[in-house]
Amino acid sequence: MILELDCGNSFIKWRVLESGLAEVRAEGVVGSDVALIDSLSALPGVLLTRCRLVSVRALEETDKLVNALVDAFDVVVCCAASAREVAGVRNGYDDFERLGLDRWLAMLGAFKLAQGACLVLDFGTAATADFVAADGEHLGGFICPGMPLMRNQLRTHTRKIRYDDAAAGKALEHLSPGHTTVEAVERGCMLMLRGFALTQLELARSYWGDNFTLFLTGGDADLVSDAIPQARLVPDLVFVGLAMACPLS
């Protein structure tokens, strides 16, 4: 079986596939290397042989995780690496190695699924936008703080904004102006995310009219999805690209 990992700045997204099949046997989201190994060890009837992984973490941190996986499961690990061009998509950064690998893989996945121009919006620790033209040229992108960074900046850098995560979830049941601190902050940050998304959508329209596909991905994608009904919500977009960057055959 194949283990797939998407190591973001906050969470590790994992899933286990049957070798040679697209079928997902098990999947999850964990906050640490130890929690990952524990979750995988607890899976009944799973024998991992290979692993493909993408990480936006520091090299030493990623190496540490790879070593832990090899020790625990004796897997052969393939780490996605930067490239100038894959599957018809051309990296648009001045220095192609500086482009976040999660962004790159999400673009590869999106271009494969769309077969044409696409806008990829990823809502994780950071919120990112990337534009890929119909000929596969990456036109560049934008990065801004995602929901966890926005709320934590307010909680850390003000004296009186304090609330816990449980209160945060409830505050987002509506989007009317808040009557409590938690409602005001959570709804305000959510509107910032939506504003970001709608601005990217306008830019894409100015480039391509209606001839493009808009993809939403990342753990907080559902915070903006009902504001953009025409978008395709593809939570595993990075994994689609990961399989392209690390073919295991």
| Contact partner, 148, from ligand ADP, K ion, ligand PAZ, none, Cβ < 5-8 Å per class | ligand ADP
| Contact partner, 29, from ligand PAZ, ligand ADP, K ion, none, Cβ < 5-8 Å per class | ligand ADP
State which of positions 181-240 bind ligand ADP (CB under 6 A): 218-220
**Which residue, judged by CB position, is nearest to ligand PAZ in the bound state?**
100
**Stretch binding ligand ADP (CB under 6 A), from 8-16, 58-66, 106-114, 181-189:** 8-16
CB atoms within 10 A of CB 167: 13
Q: Does 6 count as an annotated binding residue?
A: yes
CB of residue 8 vs ligand ADP: minimum separation in angstroms?
Answer: 2
Is position 8 an interface residue for K ion (rule: CB under 5 A)? yes
Q: Which pairs with CB-CB distance under 8 Å and at least 24 residues apart come from 131-139?
A: 131/203, 131/204, 131/207, 132/89, 132/107, 133/207, 133/208, 134/208, 134/211, 136/85, 136/88, 136/89, 136/90, 136/111, 137/90, 137/92, 138/89, 138/90, 138/91, 138/92, 138/93, 138/107, 139/92, 139/207
Going by the annotation, the residues of the binding site are: 6-13, 93, 100-103, 122, 125, 181
* Binding-site residue ranges for K(+): 122
Residues engaged in binding ligand PAZ (CB under 6 A)? 8-9, 56, 98-100, 102-103, 124-126, 128, 143, 146
